[in-house]
Amino acid sequence: MSADVAGVSSSVTAALTVLSGASLAVLTGAGVSTDSGIPDYRGPDSPPRTPMTFQQFLGDEAFRRHYWARNHVGWRHVHRTHPNAGHRALADLEARGVVGGLITQNVDLLHEQAGSRNVIDLHGRYDRVVCLSCRTVVPRAELAARLDELNPGFAEQVGAVADVEIAPDADAVVESTSHFVVAACDRCGGILKPDIVYFGENVPRERVDRAYAMVDAADALLVAGSSLTVMSGLRFVRHAAKTGKPVAIVNRGATRGDPLATVRVDAGTSEVLSRLALDLPAVPPPSR
């Protein structure tokens, strides 16, 4: 056995010791979905990225047009992805009472597809679009049909380009989008935006409060597939550590929350979460 493998095995054993018998809140990031074919923004092997900000989307019509053109192509790929072993392991742990609830920074809905029920989609959902003026929410599939009508053949033509890159927010890299026609809200004519929290935009307070309550209700916090680079996720690790709850982090590469971790497993989430689902005992429901 190599030193790396032995180290991971030892870390997993330590995580099992810390988490055994505890009711868990789980925080997941992009690393959980990499084995489903959705690349991570900040993993060790990820290319450099410059994420779009809310201010760019709102303030620049040309930028917004480029974004929607990319999104229209990427949408066709991301909604065809499927849950992987890590998603299924977390759903199994919830079904057995080990996981009380799950907070995800992802927008891909793969946790729900895998069977997780108590999920807070912290950064929104890729399958919905919201009007920034009248706040009407419509299914993304409905908008896709409208964009197809406005831009016949666009997605098929660009989808054939060899270097199309699918990203976690349903983006795709395309060469030219200047002729793309953007759809406005069909109720008020306002700007449509994916129901996703962009960089520079705040997570709704009610959603954050529910996530804090989920951590408070648990005995320990398990972080899976997040570098915890942004405060959006790190705050829950800090909260758990401040209130004396054990924190277990499973991620490839270092995370910003490592100094607060009770145990740290530097490995892929699919393999580690599958091991946890196999070896963690079921947690009986609280007595009334």
Mean pLDDT of the chain: 88
**Structure confidence by residue, pLDDT tens digits, 117-128:** 999 999 999 999
Q: Residue 7's closest CA among 256, 267, 223, 221?
A: 267
- According to DSSP, the residues that pair with 194 across neighbouring strands are 129
Residues marked active site are found at 123
Question: Mean pLDDT across the stretch 103-112?
Answer: 96
Note the pLDDT of residue 186. Answer: 94
Whole-number Å distance between alpha carbons of 233 and 161: 35
Q: What is the pLDDT of residue 175?
A: 54
Residue ranges, CATH 3.40.50.1220, the chain:
1-38+83-123+202-283
Q: How many CB atoms lie within 10 A of CB 252?
A: 18
Q: Report the CATH fold assignment for 48-80+124-196.
A: SIR2/SIRT2 'Small Domain' (3.30.1600)
What is the pLDDT at residue 100?
97
Q: Which three-class secondary structure state does DSSP give residue 194?
A: strand
The pLDDT tens digits of the residues spanning 277-287 come to 999 998 877 66
Report pTM.
0.88
Instruction: Please check whether residue 78 is in contact with residue 166, taking contact to mean a CB–CB distance below 8 angstroms.
Output: yes
Two tokens, residue 179: 């002729």
Q: Return the ∠ at Cα 226 (arms to 258 and 242), rounded to 5°.
A: 45
Question: At the topology level of CATH, where does 1-38+83-123+202-283 sit?
Answer: Rossmann fold (3.40.50)
User: End-to-end distance of the chain based on CA atoms, in angstroms?
Assistant: 48
Q: Tens digit of pLDDT for each residue in 179-213?
A: 899 999 999 999 999 999 988 899 999 999 999 99
pLDDT band at 21 (very low <50, low <70, confident <90, very high): very high
pLDDT, position 77: 73
Which amino acid, 3?
A
pLDDT digits (tens, 9 = 90+) for 132-149: 999 999 999 999 999 999
219, 24 Cβ separation under 8 angstroms: yes
Reported as a single tens digit per residue, the pLDDT across 127-136 is 999 999 999 9
